Structure 1
């Protein structure tokens, strides 16, 4: 709080004959000193808001350690904060020139004179700590009624806003009804009901906060905030520092933790199932689409697409599709075709016409079809629009492995033979979608997709994320070959949107602590981003800081 505000607050309370015996706050005593000077008849003690309450010896020890630590003396240091005690071989000071200990005995003597000689005799006062938490709580309540980003100081409503915050703090949420009643108005049945509910919630929260479990929860939340702040500082680099504009700025920002996409559970329950299938020029993910078909209970989509690359013999043998000059043929019969951009535009339009966003279902799509479709749509800058018209994907191959375990083959042809007792040898995208729709809805297994959709649906962004992750993983190849990191850990780092260069940058910014903060950041689900294992982090640090 600003010193003039402290003085004014004390003066106002004094004028109202409110006795003040103690002023609790941080160790900036300017406001306290001014108040005593202007109002010498005050009998008020100053106490500190600090973490070592009642520990006079601990405060004296900490004061000495703060001086000795920077001069390379660690007898009074504690391992919980002293980097030297944690790792004597690699420790460097983060805020001293070249990370080395200070050597000047004159400087040490002056620091001891100014800090130890003045503060150690007052350690008893410093240990008699008080908390300003109640004040901060009241400030938060006032901020909800008079936000700082709005100018209320010139408004007559400010005093009413602050008064309502004080009433809420002292009397609870029932103050609104009490004010109404004192003014001769109806307290309001709904207002009473609402205030009773809020008061119960506040009392319940207060009771829980005093329990052992409540304290554990606060410590856990504090740990999460600390982890988040440390990770953010390492990811962003220096953003505020004296004369930072005169130096070469560190402008690269390490990507934040990729949030795990969560599918809308309510939307899933009403979403129609749309089975789709692709025929392609080959078996690689870089192949072109030559037929795109989709089938649902009420609608059908089917189009042939002229490719920009030749169709392989293997693909022709399977699909019976060929290209001769400017003609496309299926089973040697000419078919109508479209160019890729038009065909994909028509498909996105077809999806947009569903009253509820559909779920796209396909066989083996997680490993093949999704990536082919992603590459085609991305080439024409249409993937974002495509994603806006669907809820997600489901791979029927994974679902059938779960629902009907132990089969010798899970190919679509084999499943048709086993579950529908039919022989199916043709290979056409539209026929494939019709049969797959029957497989997932009309077998003795029930509606296998609808019954298992929650566990198998994946985000429309999956192909995009997978593409990024594969590029990230390639940067770890040397570290994996040198056994500096396991492939599983490297894969986890790649999945969290990290490249090896990002780990190097974290070390440049804050040494091994920076690497630890980055790798142990928490995701939106409360899980560690990559790892918090000290051995794994140390091994990576040694590899990244080795002499080239």
Structure 2
């Protein structure tokens, strides 16, 4: 699917675009060049479509492994997600794909599967809409908050993995298991918090899940 969309393939360590070999560099060199380019602008806010869930997450996951990450953090002060900005500014649009917004704001079309076209389109939208720029900080977030969210997501996934036995036994739905995992609980915690009165006639214990969920106030956990 991704090949049909981007036209990119890798054969024998050589990158091809639509069958033609193209010049490529390794990730570390790419990030170093990126940071060097950013440094000319000093304090930077990076704006991206759906940046909170996609671009910022993948950028930080990769660049943090290299020495240039320290300089990146000193230059980039945060991110802005343009998707909620579009929804606020254009409430009557049929959808909020960047292609749709661009067509209505700037006119014409662009190749959404090429980075340069994507960035140029977003730049056109931002430049043409003062309100978007004025409200951008309402949808901004820092590198630290993004990293904190990634740590939380990783811990939640690990917690959720421990709950598979009770999910498989249909004692807990997948959606409820995720809420339990987000609360910081693992399967061992549930066993420790068994309702002492919840015991079968043969002496075996059953999970007192309703009480555990109530005690941990899972309704207050952000989704």
TM-score by length of 1: 0.31
**Structure 2 Cα separation of the partners of residues 321 and 538 of structure 1:** 50
What does residue 390 of structure 1 align with? 76
Alpha-carbon separation, structure 2, partners of 1:488 and 1:328: 42
Q: Distance in 1 between matches of 2:213 and 2:8?
A: 53
Deviation of 1:426 after TM superposition, in Å, equals: 5.6
Task: Please state if 1:378 is matched with 2:64.
Answer: yes
Q: Any idea what SS the aligned residue of 2:79 has?
A: strand
Out of 215, 220, 223, the position equivalent to 1:539 is 215
In structure 2, C-alpha distance between the alignment counterparts of 1:406 and 1:390, rounded to whole Å: 33
Contact in 1 for aligned 2:111/2:117 (Cα 8 Å): no
Offset, 1:395: 1.1
Flag the 1:384–1:418 CA change in 2: closer, same or farther, 3 A: same
**3-state DSSP class of the match of 2:61?**
helix
Number of the residue aligned with 2:130: 447
SS at match of 2:107: coil
CA distance in 1, matches of 2:63, 2:103: 34
Alignment partner of 1:352 is 2:47: no
SS in structure 2 at match of 1:379:
coil
Alignment of 1:125-164 (within 5 A): none
Aligned position for 1:478: 163
Q: CA RMSD in A?
A: 3.2
8 Å contact kept, 1:348–1:386: yes
CA contact (8 A) 1:441 1:448 kept: no
Separation (CA, whole Å) in 1 of partners of 2:77 and 2:83? 19
User: Counterparts of 1:178-257 in structure 2 under 5 Å?
Assistant: none
Shift of 1:415: 1.5
Q: Secondary structure at the match of 1:463?
A: helix
Please state how far the C-alpha of 1:417 moved relative to its aligned partner: 1.5
Aligned to 1:361: 47
Q: Distance between the aligned counterparts of 2:131 and 2:152, measured in 1?
A: 30
Distance 1:336 1:401 in 2: 38
Deviation at residue 376 of structure 1 after TM alignment: 1.4
Which residue of structure 2 aligns with residue 459 of structure 1? Answer: 142
Which secondary structure does the structure 2 equivalent of 1:388 belong to? helix
The one of 392, 397, 421 equivalent to 2:107 is 421
Structure 1 residue 456, shift from structure 2 partner:
0.6
State how far apart, in whole Å, the 2-side matches of 1:384 and 1:415 are. 35
By how many angstroms is 1:536 displaced? 6.9
- Name structure 1 gaps, 5 residues minimum: 1-313, 494-498, 508-534, 541-548
Alignment of 1:314-325 (within 5 A): 314-325=1-12
Q: How many angstroms apart in 1 are the aligned matches of 2:149 and 2:12?
A: 36
In terms of Rg, which structure is larger? 1
Conserved? CA contact 1:399–1:456, under 8 Å: yes
Relative to structure 1, is the Cα distance of residues 339 and 409 closer, same or farther in structure 2, using a 3 angstrom cutoff? same
In 1, the alpha carbon distance for the partners of 2:132 and 2:214 equals 45
Distance 1:376 1:537 in 2: 36
Q: SS where residue 359 of structure 1 aligns? A: strand
Cα offset, 1:438, TM superposition: 0.4
After TM superposition, give the deviation of residue 401 of structure 1 in Å.
1.0
TM value normalised by structure 2: 0.70
User: Relative contact order, CA 8 A, sep 6+: which one is greater?
Assistant: 2
Deviations 1:478-518 (A, max 9, x none): 399656x8855753x4xxxxx337x96xx9xxxxxxxxxxx
Number of equivalences: 187
Query: Residue 487 and residue 319 in structure 1: after superposition, are their counterparts in 2 closer, same or farther (change >3 A)?
Result: closer
- Counterpart secondary structure, 1:364: coil
Moved over 6 A (4+): 535-538
Give the drift of 1:419. Answer: 1.8
